[in-house]
Amino acid sequence: MNQSTAISGQTAVITGGSRGIGAGIAAKLAEMGAKTVILGRNRSALEAVAEQIHAKQGSCLAMVCDLENLAEVEGVGREIQRRAAAPQILVNCAGVGLPGRPLLECTAADWDRVINTNLRGVFYAIRTFAPAMVEARNGHIINISSIASKNPLPGGAIYAASKWGLNGLSFSLAEELRAHNVRVTVVSPGSVNTEFSAHEGRDLSRMLAPADVAHAVAMLVTQRPQSFISEVVLRPTQKP
């Protein structure tokens, strides 16, 4: 089975699908035949991504969802199952950061904003969508982390903490679910050329692109039955 048919007809949920890496992943999975569902807070941005996917004959359902609200995530989960079937693929890509903000200048509200989206929201999504994967004994959960989960990040301590936490959650969950044939993988890219953060002084042509991360996700969801890739670290071939 090749990449063009391996996930054809499967439902794939992508959080943070309205822009950047999430939008790139949704486009790639739709190109591979998946029924993609993109979640985010900005309806117009979500619909713009869905229209781009539809224009290429792909399947995409755009749904507004606040990942900080468990009841809302669960409600969206029930609607997805009704309209597109339970997902076999979940990509947790939604994320926020506070670039260039030293920790001592951050507030409790800053902490809550980053942790609630980058970590709590991932827990809510997994808690909502993973049980059906366990029941079906088939599924992929891919959590988009960051190089900041491995290296010090001055001016981004809260963001780094959220990604270190995401890695710990992911690796532990992987051990819990592997017996149920559900793979959990962390993808940690270096700087990607998106609007997520400023890239002053960098050669943008040398940076990773959303399509590079999407390519890694495509590889993960087409693994052979006996393989389990627990982590992918992506770096550009040349430093920007």
| Residues facing 91 on adjacent strands | 14, 142
How many domains does one find in the chain? 1
Q: Which residues contact 161 (CB under 8 A, 6 or more apart)?
A: 115
User: In which element (H, E) is residue 115 found?
Assistant: helix 108-115
* CATH code where residue 160 lies: 3.40.50.720
Please give the residue range of the domain that contains residue 84. Answer: 3-234
Rounded Cα gap, residues 31 and 189, in angstroms: 22
* 65-87 mean pLDDT: 95
Q: Residues 38-55: pLDDT tens digits?
A: 999 999 999 999 999 999
* 9-38 mean pLDDT: 97
Single-letter amino acid code for the residue at 50: A
* 24-49 mean pLDDT: 97
CA proximity to 40, closest of 117, 114, 103, 101? 117
Residue 239 located in a structural domain: no
Enumerate the active-site residues. 159
Q: Tell me which DSSP letter residue 77 carries.
A: H
Residue 91 located in a structural domain: yes
The whole model's pTM is what?
0.93
Residue 208 located in a structural domain: yes
- Res 162 pLDDT > 80: yes
Q: Residues 100-149: pLDDT tens digits?
A: 889 999 999 999 999 999 999 999 999 999 999 999 999 999 999 999 99
